A and B are shown apart, each in its own frame.
Chain A
Amino acid sequence: MPDQKNIYKAIRAKLTNIIDESPLIKTFVLVPENEFSFKTGQFIELSVDGIGEAPFTPSSSPLVTEKLEVTVMKTGYVTDYMHNLKPGVHMGIRGPFGRGYPVESFYGKEVLILGGGCGLAPIRSLLFALESIKDKLVKVILCYGSKTPADCIYKPIFERLNNTEKFEAYRTVDKADESWDGSVGVATTLLSKINISISNSVAVVCGPPIMMKFGTIRLLEMGYRDEQIYLSMEKNMSCGLGKCGHCMMGEFFVCRDGPVFTYNEIKHNPEIWM
């Protein structure tokens, strides 16, 4: 029984800026008071003092350690409070937790990223990580869908990626408005437009549960093998330590064994799409 630090204790981080991304989504820029770093795809528990905490995968580059960006959709009790915060206050951070994307295993391959909705937040962090190792990759294709053009966050990222060697980015919306002249349809419809060598690629899926399910089915139809598909699972990760039980998905604690799994690791479990 070794003496260890208090695993439940949060470190303080100063909220230095808040960026409006969409009517319901804001990015919080945080400067941790203690040394803090994460691997892309890992998540943190971010707390509002005295109110509560919730799990988020940082949206910033894992290579930047002096500050951290977390993109938050206003969707519940804690996130409502977050959206009312003003720069200058302190927030609490626990983590990083779990298993992120194994980017080293992507070397020499084409990387297909299928994203939807707020799933672009962790994907942005992954894109930063992949940009830093692009010499080792064949190419990276992002296919992203949002409900409406206004719901799309980080809009400048698409143009930047399309101007970056080895990167391609495609967007679609479920429902167009007068400002939109691009693709209309769910994110998976973009998959028929891309040119990718499936046998030498991996696919990363991150988005709402319904998109994860149908995205995975579509990738399998395209010829992806189970172990080539990486899923970032969403559950009620409360402690982040594999103890509180809230994120149990079959025999896995998503917070600790995931949140990133290959489809091969979890496909036997009917609970994954519940």
Chain B
Amino acid sequence: MQYKSIKKEDWDKTMEQMLLSYTIFACIENEHGLDYELLKPQDVQKISYNKPKPVTSLKTFFLPVKENVSLEKAYEKPRIILGIPNCDIEGLSLLDEVYLDNEYTDVFYSNRRKNTLLIASDCFGIQEHCHCSSYNIKAYSEKHADLAIVRLGETILIRIISAKGDDFLKKIPAVQPAGNSDLIEEIEKEHLATEALLSKSNTGLADYKKTGELVTNAKDGIWEKYSVNCVSCGACTTICPTCTCFLLLDRPGFEKVKQMDACQYPGFERVAGGEDALFELHKRFRNRYMCKYVWKPLKFKSSACTGCGRCIEACIGRINKNEIFMELAK
């Protein structure tokens, strides 16, 4: 894969200049941890590199919590999102399958995708619940993004992933071919080290396919047991980079408002007349697991769980899906 390089100092200047023509969101540490923040010129130095992972997922940039899908959108400034971990990039790949399919393209989603440059960030190191590699997802991006960025000391190295990313880099005079093979070797070493950390941290965790089998074969009573601490708040689905369900609401003038929804909420599958296949909490709880590990894999090429671990971090009932899978595997 082709690398380019730029001095950190020049990259910072470039970002400042880019703010004139782009809206930029970058990973910056705040009081809750690392997250995607609207970049201001004075914060360019605060951009975090090589570090997992933003508290929230990438999907909110493409699927707003609520949007009127009847109105023509005014011109929006092009966007750059900088510092995206590969779990989020892979999650976006599933969103693309859902919203950009040829028969029914969501023009609002499509416009945002076209308007956004995705700059991924390699993860050097892991967080407590990171488990991307268990599902055959790497801790660095080689596809679906436009560029991937690594900081090594005072050098920024950039992998070119898409033609769009390549065109963007051509506009930056300070970007040079990455001649120093030592730096590339260092990146590869970091990749291996991160993989080793992931492997050690998730020893015994089943792979994606096997997880689907565990969920399918879970015996009666399992979901009642594990859902005891679930309060149907939907935090797991809201924070998930691949959960895409929504509701269409009607407004006067035949306007439609699309609002993100979750299978964890009561009434999600209720039909007129009141029948509700997911009336009971444990059935809704099971539904999320079946959807992610059994049904979506039958329907889509992209993974419906990218191993980001955010659902574990967000759960107020302290439900850890990986502990469930470990127990199911016993």
The reply to whether the CB of B251 lies closer than 8 angstroms to some CB of chain A is: yes
Q: Tell whether A1 pairs with B114 under 8 Å between CB atoms, given A8-B70, A8-B256, A75-B272.
A: yes
Interface residues of A in 230-249 (CB under 8 A from B): 234-236, 238-239, 241-248
Q: Report B192 CB to chain A, min CB distance, Å.
A: 35
- What residues of chain B lie closer than 8 Å to A274, measured between beta carbons? 277
Q: B256 to nearest A CB, angstroms?
A: 5
Query: Which of B101, B107, B254, B270 sits near A12, CB closer than 8 Å?
Result: B254
Q: Does A223 contact B (CB under 8 A)?
A: no
- Within 8 Å CB of A3, what residues of B? 107, 110
Q: What string of 1s and 0s marks CB contacts (under 8 Å) between A1-13 and chain B? A: 1111111111010
Check if B229 is an interface residue, CB within 8 A of chain A: no
Chain B residues near A10 (CB-CB < 8 A): 254, 256
A238-B248 CB under 8 A given contacts A10-B254, A78-B272: yes
**Are B254 and A239 touching (Cβ within 8 A)?**
no
Q: Which residues of A contact B271 (CB under 8 A)?
A: 234-236
User: Does any Cβ of A come within 8 Å of B98's Cβ?
Assistant: yes
User: Residue A185 at the B interface, CB < 8 A?
Assistant: no
Specify the main secondary structure of chain B where it touches its partner.
loop
Query: Chain B's nearest CB lies how many Å from the CB of A80?
Result: 10
Q: Name the one of B70, B110, B249, B263 contacting A9, with C-beta atoms under 8 angstroms.
A: B70
Known: A1-B100, A54-B272. A8 touches B251 (CB 8 A): no
Quick one: which of A74-120 are within 8 Å of B by CB?
75-76, 78-79, 92
Report the minimal beta-carbon distance from A28 to chain B, rounded to whole angstroms.
Answer: 15
Interface centre among B106, B250, B251, B258 (most CB of A within 10 A): B250
Please give me the residue from chain B that is nearest to A45 by CB atom: B248
* In contact, A243 and B100 (Cβ under 8 angstroms): no
| A54-B271 Cα distance, complex, nearest whole Å | 9
Whole-angstrom distance from the CB of A153 to the nearest CB of chain B? 16
A235 and B269 contact, Cβ closer than 8 Å, known pairs A4-B107, A243-B99, A245-B261: yes
B252:A50 contact, CB within 8 angstroms = yes
Q: Are A53 and B273 in contact (CB under 8 A)?
A: no
Whether B299 lies near A251 (C-beta < 8 A) is yes
Decide: B107 and A5 in contact? CB cutoff 8 A. Answer: yes
Q: Which residues of A48-83 have CB atoms within 8 Å of chain B's CB atoms?
A: 48-54, 73, 75-76, 78-79
Contacts of B261 in A (CB 8 A): 244-246
Give the one of A1, A51, A79, A245 with max B CB within 10 A. A245
Tell me the nearest residue of chain B to A210, going by C-beta: B275
In the complex, the number of residue pairs spanning A and B with C-beta atoms less than 8 Å apart equals: 114
A182 sits at the interface (CB 8 A): no
Cβ proximity bits B63-107 to A, threshold 8 Å, 1 near / 0 not = 000000110000000000000000000000000001111101111
Q: Which residues of B contact A247 (CB under 8 A)?
A: 269
Residue of A nearest to B258 (CB): A8
Contacts of A238 in B (CB 8 A): 247-248
- Interface flags for A194-216 (1: CB within 8 Å of B; 0: not) read 00000000000000010000000
Q: B20 in the interface, Cβ–Cβ < 8 Å?
A: no
CB within 8 Å of A: which of B262-308?
263, 268-275, 277, 291, 294-296, 298-299
Q: A10 to B252, alpha carbons, bound, how many Å?
A: 12
> In the assembled complex, which residues on chain A have CB atoms less than 8 Å from the CB atom of B98?
242-243
Interface presence of B179 (CB below 8 A) = no
B residues less than 8 Å from A78 (CB atoms): 272
B150-206 at interface with A (beta carbon < 8 Å): none
Residue B246 lies at the interface, judged by CB distance under 8 Å to chain A: yes
The answer to whether the Cβ of B113 comes within 8 Å of any Cβ in the partner chain is: yes
Task: Determine how close the nearest CB of chain B comes to the CB of A144; give it in whole angstroms.
Answer: 19
Residues of B within 8 A of A (CB): 69-70, 98-102, 104-107, 110, 113-114, 244-254, 256, 258, 261, 263, 268-275, 277, 291, 294-296, 298-299
- What are 29 pairs between A and B in contact, CB < 8 Å? A2-B102, A4-B107, A7-B104, A7-B106, A7-B107, A8-B69, A8-B248, A9-B70, A47-B254, A49-B252, A49-B254, A50-B250, A50-B251, A75-B272, A76-B273, A79-B272, A235-B271, A236-B269, A236-B271, A242-B98, A245-B261, A245-B263, A245-B291, A246-B247, A246-B268, A247-B269, A248-B295, A250-B295, A251-B295
Q: Which residues of A contact B (CB under 8 A)?
A: 1-10, 12, 47-54, 73, 75-76, 78-79, 92, 209, 234-236, 238-239, 241-248, 250-252, 271, 274
The 9 A-B pairs of least Cβ separation, nearest first, read: A245-B245, A76-B272, A50-B252, A251-B298, A274-B277, A8-B69, A241-B104, A251-B295, A92-B254
Q: A4-B110, A47-B250, A246-B245 are in contact. List 4 more A-B contacts (CB 8 A).
A: A1-B114, A6-B69, A51-B250, A243-B99
